[in-house]
Amino acid sequence: MSAFQLAWKNISGNAFRNGVVSLCALLLSAFALFTTLVIRGAESSLRLTIDRLGADIVVVPEGSEAKIESALLMGIPARFWMPEDHVNKLAAIPGVDVVSPQLYLATLTGADCCSVSDMFMIAYDPSSDFTIQPWLEEELGNGLRVGEVVGGNYISATEGEQNIKVYGYLVTLKENLEPTGTGLDQTMFLTFDTAYDIASKSAVQAESQLVIPPDSISAALIKVKPGSDPQEVALQIIQKVPGVTPIESSDLFQSYRKQMTGLLRSILVILSVTWGLSVVLIGLVFSMAANERRKELGVLRALGATRRFVFRSLLAEASLLAFFGGVTGLAVASMAIFLFRKLIMVSLEIPFLLPSPVSLLLQIGAGLLLALFSVNLAALLPAFKISRQDPAVAMRE
């Protein structure tokens, strides 16, 4: 009989030890995978949102920096305005290649049956846009006409229809964007013409009118000329256009990044404490179980089993328990992350994107290795002590 076969037979005989060790491995691996997936998912989501935005600098009215971050990341509707003639002032700054204005709007909250609730809407100018328009031309072959919209990944029309009622105005959903795990997934994109059309008809058709202040925009996206330094351009914007704040794409979502760094630190502390306590608990349980089996292991030694064989069979038992607990924990954590990702985003107020299958498998493998390493580390000392005992003394006790 091999050490593995002996271990397999032994683990069916001690329900308490099996339960505690497997549960520790389950909790450890599940917690490690869950936290890694959440932190990495938030990181990749932020990166994708900045890429999707495609702008080197975002110019917003002074004091609106936090609002735009919340709108883009969490889909919390934001409304702020600055004069439209800022576009010309920004375009005149050396180093600026393209300036594209945007309007930030929101649907009605809790309106009647067919309307969507509290959705962030971004209206763009097709003549200057460099974020949505190129993607639309690639996907649809042309831009959006009046009354047509594209939605983030979560935007859907009523089943069997393609229309969504916004301020009593029926817009046609033409396409959905790929998921980003951020507020962009629950954002609707439309042209300036559609936005002004909705606003003009909402006075008659909607419970409450959509108001767009005349000659105003919410933000301006800037692409700098190749070779120009975005930081230098941002400094010039501060000097030449009063009342606005330029946010470089590298500085975008700084408050969320700080929040995530804080979250990461807390999680690392909790994970370290959980790991330490689990190792101590597993070590104690293994010591108790090994002491209970002193006679049995003494008989095994007296029958000719070597110290090495006893030591290996005890570690094989630990590995088997760690494997079963770890696999269960990793499966539950993966399922929970996949099914509850939206709830995690809403309750932790962080963006989140699921990893690729390869990355997920690598992280599951790392979680399983952590469970195996921890349980074997905890079982090492009791297994070493019990395997070195004298068989004659062990059988007499």
Partner 1 sequence: MNKTMGILMIALALTIAIVPLFTDCLANGRTLTTADGRSVPMKCHWTALAEIGLAVPLALIGIFNLTSKRKETFRTLNVISIALGALVVLFPTVLIGVCANASMPCNLIEKPLLILSGILVMGASLVTLASTRNFIEPVAA
Binding site for partner 1 (CB under 8 A): 75, 112-113, 116-117, 154, 156, 158-159, 186, 335-336, 339-340, 342-343, 346
Judged by beta carbon, residue 335 or residue 393, the one nearer partner 1 is 335
Q: How many CA atoms within 13 Å lie on the side-chain side of 345?
A: 26
Judged by beta carbon, residue 142 or residue 347, the one nearer partner 1 is 347
As measured in angstroms, the least distance from the Cβ of 137 to partner 1 is 27
DSSP result, 49-115? HHHHH--SEEEEETT-HHHHHHHHHH-------EETTHHHHHHTSTTEEEEEEEEEEEPPTT-STTB
- CA nearest neighbour of 105 among 228, 201, 196, 7: 196
Determine phi and psi for 232, rounding to 5 degrees. Answer: -65, -40
The letter for the amino acid at 27 is L
- 180, 73 contact by CB (below 8 A): no
As measured in angstroms, the least distance from the Cβ of 113 to partner 1 is 4
Judged by beta carbon, residue 61 or residue 325, the one nearer partner 1 is 325
As measured in angstroms, the least distance from the Cβ of 156 to partner 1 is 5
As measured in angstroms, the least distance from the Cβ of 183 to partner 1 is 11
As measured in angstroms, the least distance from the Cβ of 332 to partner 1 is 8
As measured in angstroms, the least distance from the Cβ of 179 to partner 1 is 10
As measured in angstroms, the least distance from the Cβ of 338 to partner 1 is 8
Distance CA 315, CA 375 (A): 9
Judged by beta carbon, residue 17 or residue 86, the one nearer partner 1 is 17
Judged by beta carbon, residue 80 or residue 154, the one nearer partner 1 is 154
Judged by beta carbon, residue 18 or residue 194, the one nearer partner 1 is 18
Q: Which long-range contacts (CB under 8 A, 24 or more apart) does 332-337 make?
A: 332/26, 332/30, 333/29, 333/30, 333/31, 333/33, 333/34, 333/37, 333/367, 334/33, 334/37, 334/360, 334/364, 336/34, 337/33, 337/34, 337/37, 337/38, 337/41
Judged by beta carbon, residue 183 or residue 230, the one nearer partner 1 is 183
> Given 3-state DSSP classes, what are the helix, strand and coil percentages for the chain, each rounded to the nearest 5?
60, 15, 30
DSSP result, 167-216? TTEEEEEEEEPPP-SSGGGGEEEEEHHHHHHHHHHHHHHSSS-----TTE
Judged by beta carbon, residue 109 or residue 291, the one nearer partner 1 is 109
As measured in angstroms, the least distance from the Cβ of 118 to partner 1 is 9
- 220, 99 contact by CB (below 8 A): yes
Judged by beta carbon, residue 75 or residue 95, the one nearer partner 1 is 75
- 157, 163 contact by CB (below 8 A): yes
As measured in angstroms, the least distance from the Cβ of 347 to partner 1 is 9
